[in-house]
A and B are shown apart, each in its own frame.
Chain A
Amino acid sequence: MQLQAAEQTATHEEETALVERVRQRDTAAYQLLVRKHLRPLSGYAARMLAGAPEAEDIVQETLLRLWTHASRYRADKSRLTTWLHNIAHNLCIDYFRKHKRLQPLENQDAAETLLVTTGPDTGQQQQEVQRHVAAAMMKIPERQRSAVIMCHYQGLSNREVAEILGVSVRALESLLVRGRANLKEILEHEH
């Protein structure tokens, strides 16, 4: 536990130094940070938007803001991953507001999009399960979805997720309980 905390501290210090270099317009430092955070952010946006192409735009915009707004990142307030997820979360919410409610994966095009994003080597049965999970995720409210995704997939602590959502930890747990319960009910009903 102490070693893990020490590793996290070292990583945080390294990232803080890289962000400082980004502020000085160091593209090499920026690329290192992009490589580190691209996959988790891509996973978050893809799950929030069920693999819609706009998820790539959100990831790109999030990481572009690391370049244009690096001066706004406060290392003493949060980890860089928390800051980036905060940006990505807000961009997703903006997207939903503009596009009202995302439709569930009922049409073949959307289903095929999901298959592409999961990789060609995924077995057919597993693809079917993934499609059900993605469809179920789209049926729960966006805040519950974001809470579940960030807590389950993104490696963020409950305090970090609560900070991103602007709620207390207790309120976060309420979101998570309802979100996971809804998902369970939808998935059990479909199976």
Chain B
Amino acid sequence: MNIERFTTVLASYGASESRWPEAERAALADFVTVNPTARALLVEAQQLDDLLDTWTPATPAHLEADIMAALPRPYSERLLDWLLAPGAWLRPGFAAAMMLTCGVVIGGFYPDGDNAEDTGYWNDDLALMALDDNFDEDVTNDN
């Protein structure tokens, strides 16, 4: 160890031994005890360290919760949480109403027995009724 290397270490890492390169720490500490110039340099470096040490930003209290809340979660879990959120009692009903509406809309695309465009069946029925002399209007209306 020499004064040049000691000076460089102080200028780089400051006066605290814990920040000095681990491999040189013991040699640096010994050098301070035997070299008055080194001790003076140590005092000078400590002044900047003391100023730097005054700066202690606080960690925002909400940050941990924010980080945990931001974790990507499976879609099924998020949907369930949304439906069952406290105070959101309308959401399950809304979801059911949406499904019902979708069912009605989709069902409207499928033809049923009362479709006015499907007249082939009724034409045959009417033809048969016309051929029957005992045709009863009341019975027809019940159909």
| Residues in A neighbouring B56, C-beta threshold 8 A | 43, 118-119, 130
B35 → A minimal CB distance (Å): 20
Q: Does B132 count as interface, using CB distance less than 8 angstroms?
A: no
A59 with B57: CB separation less than 8 A: no
Given contacts A46-B57, A133-B55, contact A59 B63 (CB under 8 A): yes
A47 with B70: CB separation less than 8 A: no
Nearest CB to that of B60 among chain A residues? A56
B67 with A34: CB separation less than 8 A: yes
Interface core residue of A30, A117, A126, A169 (most chain B CB under 10 Å): A117
In the assembly, what is the distance between CA of A118 and CA of B12, in Å?
Answer: 26
Q: Which residues 1-59 in B have Cβ within 8 Å of A in the complex?
A: 8, 11-14, 19, 21-22, 48-49, 51-52, 54-59
Q: Does A9 count as interface, using CB distance less than 8 angstroms?
A: no
B11 with A180: CB separation less than 8 A: yes
B-contact 0/1 string along A17-39, CB 8 Å cutoff: 00000000001001100110011
| Residues in A neighbouring B55, C-beta threshold 8 A | 47, 118, 130, 133-134, 137
A157 with B22: CB separation less than 8 A: yes
Interface size, B (range): 20 to 34
Q: Which residues 50-100 in B have Cβ within 8 Å of A in the complex?
A: 51-52, 54-60, 63-64, 66-68, 70-72
A158 with B57: CB separation less than 8 A: no
Contacts between chains A and B (CB distance < 8 A), count: 99
How many residues in A have their beta carbons less than 8 Å from beta carbons of B? Answer: 46
Given contacts A130-B55, A133-B52, A183-B48, contact A60 B11 (CB under 8 A): no
Given contacts A60-B66, A60-B67, A133-B52, contact A47 B14 (CB under 8 A): no
| Residues in A neighbouring B52, C-beta threshold 8 A | 133, 148, 152-153, 183
Interface SS of A by simple majority: helix
Nearest CB to that of B58 among chain A residues? A119
Q: A151 contacts which of B13, B48, B58, B66 (Cβ < 8 Å)?
A: B13
Given contacts A64-B67, A152-B14, A173-B12, contact A42 B60 (CB under 8 A): yes
Q: Does A10 count as interface, using CB distance less than 8 angstroms?
A: no
In the assembly, what is the distance between CA of A187 and CA of B54, in Å?
Answer: 13
Ranked 6 nearest A-B pairs via Cβ = A46-B57, A176-B12, A173-B12, A42-B59, A117-B57, A119-B58
Query: A152-B52, A169-B21 are known contacts; what are 8 more A-B pairs with Cβ within 8 Å?
Result: A42-B59, A46-B57, A129-B51, A130-B56, A158-B21, A176-B13, A177-B11, A187-B51
Give A contacts to B, CB under 8 Å: 27, 30-31, 34-35, 38-39, 42-43, 46-47, 51, 56, 59-60, 63-64, 67-68, 114, 116-119, 126, 129-130, 133-134, 137, 148, 151-153, 157-158, 169, 172-173, 176-177, 180-181, 183-184, 187
